[in-house]
Amino acid sequence: MKILNVVGARPNFMKIAPLMDAYKSYPHIEPLLIHTGQHYDNIMSERFFEELGIPQPDVNLQVGSASHAVQTAEIMKAFEPVVQRHKPDVVIVVGDVNSTIACGLVAAKTGVKLAHVEAGLRSFDRTMPEEINRILTDAISDMLFCTEQSGVDNLKNEGISDEKIHLVGNVMIDSLLKHLNKAQKSSILERLNLQGQKYAVLTLHRPSNVDDQHIFQDIITALDTMQKEVPIIFPIHPRTKKNLFSSALGDQAKKMPGLKLLDPLGYLDFLQLLSSAAVVLTDSGGIQEETAILKIPCLTLRDNTERPVTVKYGSNHIVGADTDRILAAYHNVMNEDNLNYQVPPLWDGQAAVRIVNILVKPFP
Ligand code: UD1
């Protein structure tokens, strides 16, 4: 059974790692790893392979950055011959990035079975490029693996038949649980002088937050107040860095002694940083899930989430990007002392094993 596994951007790597591990129990599976090259530098890509123990990609399509249309098209053009050459039984795509939909389309059009891991999530906000990628990938997938019940419900509402849908848990959490002990050995807290200190962690990269100067300004204004109370550790995404320093906001940020800008961190350092934080502010999808498991309060700087289970069971608060709302939510969670969060169902480190058990059924 030949399986082509697709990765492209940073959040894909922690999702594919546990699958590559789980295949090892099935000698008749031949997994091949295809990297589209959507993220390409060491800090956004290479080092995650090393830290997560992912084998080197069998093929790298090396598409790099471009507009959405060009990037998606280039991935499709480069992936089609790979599918034709390898004639896989299944193509697996994860998450919601441009690589997900591009390779999904190629699989569907070349008649190869397509499996989507992290299917069914919906923010119901079609201005998000990821929402378009999710809806389209799910519509053409043969097997849809969901992390939470809302994903199952959304797919059924879109008319996808029951036998294609599997609630399996969360592969990103498989990676987190596997690497937590190792992460605790990271020296990041010493390196940043944070041991025994209360601190906040911030990540921002959504175009809706960092491409709009007014919205970005609102967030920076909230940070200015917060950084007087706790240090804010801000590993900065390349898109965000470019936008911050090409405007006056960069000068404002430089004048905040409590706002600590860093290059993007590796997986283990970042996990350790999250685990000991007093509060996390983010617009990432994956970090909402990771903080839910770590039971760290998370303020999501968006007006919606495609991961409602993190709010229902976990520590996630949907706050938006308005200065006053951010500050009110921040003060609320800092004053809460009974943080009674629960782990969402099936987020137990076994999602990849469940997926592979289902995948091999037609290939006993
Ligand atoms: C992409 C995903 C987003 C995901 C995010 C995680 C889509 C539509 N978006 O957004 O869902 O949450 O990845 O980071 O697929 N760059 C580098 N080095 C790299 C890669 C990019 O410096 O290795 C810079 C380039 O200047 C590029 C910019 O970062 O223009 C943005 O990268 P891109 O892949 O276009 O989108 P992300 O914002 O990272």
DSSP string, 102-119: HHHHHHHHTT-EEEEETT
Q: What distance in angstroms lies between residue 223's CA and the mean position of ligand 1's atoms?
A: 24
Q: How far is CA 76 from CA 79, 204, 267, in A?
A: 5, 28, 28
59 belongs to a structural domain: yes
Domain that holds residue 29: 2-170+347-360
| Whether residues 161 and 275 fall in one domain | no
Q: What distance in angstroms lies between residue 80's CA and the mean position of ligand 1's atoms?
A: 22
Q: How far is CA 257 from CA 166, 196, 326, in A?
A: 48, 19, 20
Cβ atoms within 10 A of the Cβ of 258, count? 16
| Whether residues 215 and 300 fall in one domain | yes
| Whether residues 156 and 191 fall in one domain | no
Choose one of 14, 15, 39, 43 to mutate for the ligand 1 pocket test, by most ligand atoms within 8 angstroms of C-beta.
Answer: 39
| Whether residues 156 and 202 fall in one domain | no
**Minimal-distance CA residue to ligand 1 atom 14:** 10
Domain count, the chain: 2
| Mean pLDDT value across the chain | 96
Q: What distance in angstroms lies between residue 69's CA and the mean position of ligand 1's atoms?
A: 14
CA 317 – CA 299 distance, rounded (Å): 5
176 belongs to a structural domain: no
Question: In this predicted structure, what is the pLDDT of residue 362?
Answer: 74
| Whether residues 20 and 106 fall in one domain | yes
Beta bridge partners of 243: none
Res. 340 pLDDT band, cuts 50 70 90: confident
| Whether residues 194 and 76 fall in one domain | no
**Minimal-distance CA residue to ligand 1 atom 25:** 65
Query: DSSP state, 270?
Result: H
| Whether residues 153 and 54 fall in one domain | yes
Q: How far is CA 195 from CA 54, 199, 335, 348, 362, in A?
A: 31, 10, 21, 29, 51
Q: What distance in angstroms lies between residue 277's CA and the mean position of ligand 1's atoms?
A: 25
266 belongs to a structural domain: yes
Catalytic residue among 39, 116, 205, 237: 205
272 belongs to a structural domain: yes
CA 213 – CA 43 distance, rounded (Å): 26
342 belongs to a structural domain: no
Question: In this predicted structure, what is the pLDDT of residue 56?
Answer: 97
**Minimal-distance CA residue to ligand 1 atom 13:** 9
Shortest-distance atom of ligand 1 to CA 207: 38
Which are the contacts of 143, defined by CB distance < 8 A and separation ≥ 6? 90, 113, 114, 115, 116, 164, 166, 358, 359
Question: In this predicted structure, what is the pLDDT of residue 363?
Answer: 63
Q: What is the pLDDT of residues 112-140, one digit of tens each?
A: 999 999 999 999 999 999 999 999 999 99
| Whether residues 128 and 276 fall in one domain | no
E strand or H helix at 70, and its extent?
helix 68-86
**Minimal-distance CA residue to ligand 1 atom 27:** 65
Q: Which residue is associated with the tokens 């000991």?
A: 276
| Whether residues 211 and 131 fall in one domain | no
Strand stretches in the chain, DSSP E: 2-7, 30-35, 59-60, 90-94, 113-117, 143-146, 165-167, 200-203, 232-235, 259-262, 279-282, 298-300, 316-318
175 belongs to a structural domain: no
341 belongs to a structural domain: no
Choose one of 38, 76, 290 to mutate for the ligand 1 pocket test, by most ligand atoms within 8 angstroms of C-beta.
Answer: 38
What is the identity of the amino acid at 60?
N
Choose one of 14, 44, 125 to mutate for the ligand 1 pocket test, by most ligand atoms within 8 angstroms of C-beta.
Answer: 44
What is the identity of the amino acid at 247?
S
Q: What is the pLDDT of residues 47-88, one digit of tens each?
A: 999 999 999 999 999 999 999 999 999 999 999 999 999 999
| Whether residues 279 and 298 fall in one domain | yes
Shortest CA distance to 269 belongs to which of 184, 176, 174?
A: 184
Q: Give percent of the chain with pLDDT exceeding 90.
A: 96
**Ligand 1, residues at Cβ distance < 6 Å:** 9-11, 38-41, 44-45, 65, 96-98, 129-130, 205, 237-239
**Minimal-distance CA residue to ligand 1 atom 22:** 238
| Whether residues 103 and 21 fall in one domain | yes
In this structure, are residues 305 and 316 in contact, taking their beta carbons and an 8 Å threshold?
yes
Question: In this predicted structure, what is the pLDDT of residue 335?
Answer: 84
Q: What is the pLDDT of residues 232-278, one digit of tens each?
A: 999 999 999 999 999 999 999 999 999 999 999 999 999 999 999 99
Shortest-distance atom of ligand 1 to CA 38: 34
CA 350 – CA 344 distance, rounded (Å): 13
Shortest-distance atom of ligand 1 to CA 242: 26
pTM: 0.96
Whether residue 205 lies in the annotated active site = yes
| Whether residues 147 and 231 fall in one domain | no
Q: What distance in angstroms lies between residue 179's CA and the mean position of ligand 1's atoms?
A: 24
Following CA atoms 79, 82, 86, 88 in sequence, which dihedral angle do they give, to the nearest 10 degrees?
A: 0
Q: Report helix, strand or coil for 286.
A: helix
| HEC sequence for 201-258 | EEECCCHHHHCCHHHHHHHHHHHHHHCCCCCEEEECCHHHHHHHHCCCHHHHHHCCCC
Q: What distance in angstroms lies between residue 252's CA and the mean position of ligand 1's atoms?
A: 24
CA 146 – CA 312 distance, rounded (Å): 17
CA 274 – CA 183 distance, rounded (Å): 10
In this structure, are residues 78 and 61 in contact, taking their beta carbons and an 8 Å threshold?
yes
Q: What distance in angstroms lies between residue 176's CA and the mean position of ligand 1's atoms?
A: 22
User: CATH code at 118?
Assistant: 3.40.50.2000
Shortest CA distance to 202 belongs to which of 238, 233, 226?
A: 233
340 belongs to a structural domain: no
Cβ atoms within 10 A of the Cβ of 342, count? 11
